[in-house]
Chains A and B, each alone.
Chain A
Amino acid sequence: MKLYVTGATGFVGSQVVAAARARGHDVVAVVRPARPVPALDDGVEPARVDLRSRRGVAESLAGVDAVIHLAAAKAGDFATQFAGTVVATENLLTAMDEAGATRLVGVSTFSVYDYRGIEPGTVLDEDSPIDRSPALRDEYARTKLVQEQLYRDFGDGDGRRCVIVRPGMIYGPGNLWHDLLGAGLGPRYLRIGSRATLPITYVENCADAIVLAAGRLADPTSTIDGEVINVVDDDLPTQERYAQAVAARTEVPRTIKLPWPVVRTVADVLALANRRLLGGRAKFPGIAVPDRLDARFKPLRYTNRKAKDLLGWEPRFDLDEAIERSLAAERAGSLAGSPAEHGR
């Protein structure tokens, strides 16, 4: 099978390419025009396009069996992220129509869920509501929600097959100390909460799931078309256990621990004051906005049952192995891309 992988040089994309090759798939790897072409093995050919422009995209899709769309913008202002995530996806899907490419694995994120509307302690799964009023969410969540709608619109078309994969926070080399633990404050790090379960997936495990989804999509007997699949690993750790596991093996920032209920109450008071006294126009840091805070730290439970049932996926590496592999890769300078392209 020939897979077209966008974001192929990134943190997740490079592992997706490796996982695809390990399963014997050929790969067309989207490498942006000014980026040096990385060393590619025989089964990988580069496509030098930038998805923010339609130029050359349809041509580069000739002969592919399925598309894995990972490319997204996580940094920058709203316009930058809208162009890099939403317009890029629109251009890709238009080009797929032109090229007659009909199978899409659209990679999304846990960020799309409506965390304000989900009660603490309940199980978040694929049937949980997505955020329909994301005005107070960050740029990443807002643009990924629009992107998901594009995926669904594409999948609704005749003769197309589409599956949406929503990974939790993806950790790995260069991204072991991530945004679900807290937020930086100058030289210190504010650790928010300790007992909440982390919805995380190790990058190599996640890449396996994504490639399996592409394989199932190409199987005409598979019932995967139109499904949404969450990807989190087994035996998910609490924030505290994860932080300890990382800290036991490598240097981590000096932290100040803040209890979740205290931070959440402060955010609620600020939000109330903003609404009542400032007309809702004030803008506070993300950890002081209840909508954004809930999306990162609200204590919930998670399941990967659907990924296992539909994809036949099993995470290859547990937490300790994943951390060891990440640190070994960091030391070797391999496995590294842009961290955390997909998170909450």
Chain B
Amino acid sequence: MSPERLQFPIRAAVVGSGAISKEHLGFLSGRAAIRASAPVEHRIRLVGVCDLSPVTARYSADEYGADAGYTDLGELLAEARPDVVHVLTPPETHVAVVTTCLEAGAHVICEKPITPTHRELIELLEVARANDRHLMESHNYRFNRTVVEMRRAIDEGEIGAVREVGIRVVLPVTDPAGRFGDPHLPNPIHRMPAGVVHDFITHVTYLLRHLAGPVDFDRIAAAWSNHSENPLFTWDDLDAILIGRGDAGPVHGRLRFDAGAGPDTFAIEVRGSDGWMETDLFQPYLRTVRPRPGGALLSPIVNHLANGWGLIDQGVRNVGRKIMQRGPYEGLYRMLDETYLALGAGRPLPVTADDMLGASELIDRLVDEKVRL
């Protein structure tokens, strides 16, 4: 059984008005600076915003043109009758909120991490299946322009067989002025199995799987550290190595989360049997070193010239992106655009249950005591 296709305009609602809601609501209201396949307002109607804080619900509804603001999830579901609910509440509430939405007949798009553990995700997907509803976790960075381009280059064999994928996230999460380091009202993320790293580990695991392709990682080692020695944090640093075998041979994965280095970084490097690529999602560019016309003799020169020109071009574009407020959430808008088109066409959603299960299973293994160095 697969859910029926939805009629446009699709009725959408948002639950939870924290920091990320600005991006979801920006898309749903047609305000986000995206090149959507068609005007969003023709395809989506924002029927409600729900938050425990009345003023927050009211403000978000007014600001983004929702039909109404709600403080009670049951009321939102009964009165606004959304086809799709975006669940943006703190992670430890996801299971209860998502279950309520699915059982009320709404499809759900949920922010990461969708559940604390793999087992809970399996159970949640079973609830979705039993209610014939879609459940999709946001894997937004997969849809960023440079990641899409990396995947295309891999698929077309430009760097040969993938041998290694390295992903490095650098963010000052221990800053006491930031939302994770605030000692007065500790962020709920600290209660997740990987602590604050759990807020980012979904990204790095789904990107690893997306770029490495189908790989059975049979050896995993993970070093978890609290380099800041801040008692608020269980860990603020992850250094993990994953080794496995894919269709074309061995594949290594290297995942890093670092709260002490700078500046903010989301670097991805993919090394293949014939070439390599790198990007940084926070300062987007794409550098590709691969066989070029001219053979082995001229390839290095052509690579230098092509990448030099590419860096200048992308540097200028990044200034424009900064002014035009196109940040690293460009992939979120693209993912949501594809999702709503798929819902309207009755097609599979761009993030599948297998994608979600694969990422959560890797997360479980990374936080497993047995692989802690």
Contacts and interface: CB of A to CB of B under 8 A. Distances in A.
Contacts of B56: 82, 86-87, 90
A150 B19 contact: no
Contacts of A90: 53-56
A146 B59 contact: yes
A76 B323 contact: no
Given A50-B185, A281-B324, A76 B177 contact: yes
A77 interface: yes
Contacts of B19: 77, 79-80
A50 B184 contact: yes
A112 B273 CA distance: 61
Q: Give the size category of A's interface with B.
A: 20 to 34
Interface string A86-119: 1100100000000000000000000000000000
Interface string A32-61: 111100000000000000101100000000
A278 B324 contact: yes
B62 to A, nearest CB: 10
B228 interface: no
A79 B185 contact: no
A32 B184 contact: yes
Contacts of A34: 183-184
A283 B183 contact: no
A53 B185 contact: yes
B323 A78 contact: no
Given A79-B22, A282-B324, A284-B323, A87 B183 contact: no
Given A35-B184, A50-B185, A87-B55, A283 B177 contact: no
A41 B21 CA distance: 44
A136 interface: no
Nearest to B176: A34
A281 B183 contact: no
B132 to A, nearest CB: 35
Interface in B313-328: 323-325
Contacts of A284: 323
Contact of B22 (A78, A146, A281): A78
B280 to A, nearest CB: 21
Nearest to A143: B59
Nearest to A53: B185
B33 interface: yes
Interface in A114-162: 146, 150
B3 interface: no
Given A78-B22, A281-B33, A150 B55 contact: yes
Contacts of A32: 184
A75 interface: yes
Contacts of B323: 282-284
B179 interface: yes
A46 to B, nearest CB: 14
Contacts of B18: 79
Nearest to A34: B183
A78 B21 CA distance: 11
Contacts of A80: 19, 179
Contacts of A52: 184-185
Interface string A281-322: 111100000000000000000000000000000000000000
A168 to B, nearest CB: 26
A217 to B, nearest CB: 23
A284 B54 CA distance: 32
Contacts of B325: 281-283
A1 to B, nearest CB: 28
A25 to B, nearest CB: 26
A52 B182 CA distance: 12
Interface in B10-33: 18-19, 21-22, 33
B316 to A, nearest CB: 15
Nearest to A48: B184
Interface in B55-108: 55-56, 59
- Most chain-B CB neighbours within 10 Å: which of A52, A87, A278, A283? A87
B53 A87 contact: yes
A87 B57 CA distance: 11
B63 to A, nearest CB: 9
A75 B175 CA distance: 13
Interface string B276-311: 000000000000000000000000000000000000
Contacts of B324: 278, 281-283
A279 to B, nearest CB: 8
Nearest to B185: A50
Nearest to A35: B184
Contact of B59 (A50, A76, A86): A86
12 contacts: A32-B184, A33-B184, A75-B177, A77-B19, A80-B179, A86-B56, A90-B54, A278-B324, A281-B324, A282-B323, A283-B323, A283-B324
Given A79-B19, A79-B21, A146-B59, 19 more contacts: A32-B184, A33-B183, A33-B185, A34-B184, A52-B184, A77-B19, A78-B22, A79-B18, A79-B22, A82-B56, A86-B59, A146-B55, A150-B55, A278-B324, A281-B325, A282-B325, A283-B324, A283-B325, A284-B323
Interface of A: 32-35, 50, 52-53, 75-80, 82, 86-87, 90, 146, 150, 278, 281-284
10 smallest CB-CB distances across A and B, nearest first, come from: A34-B183, A79-B19, A32-B184, A50-B184, A50-B185, A90-B55, A282-B323, A34-B184, A283-B325, A281-B33
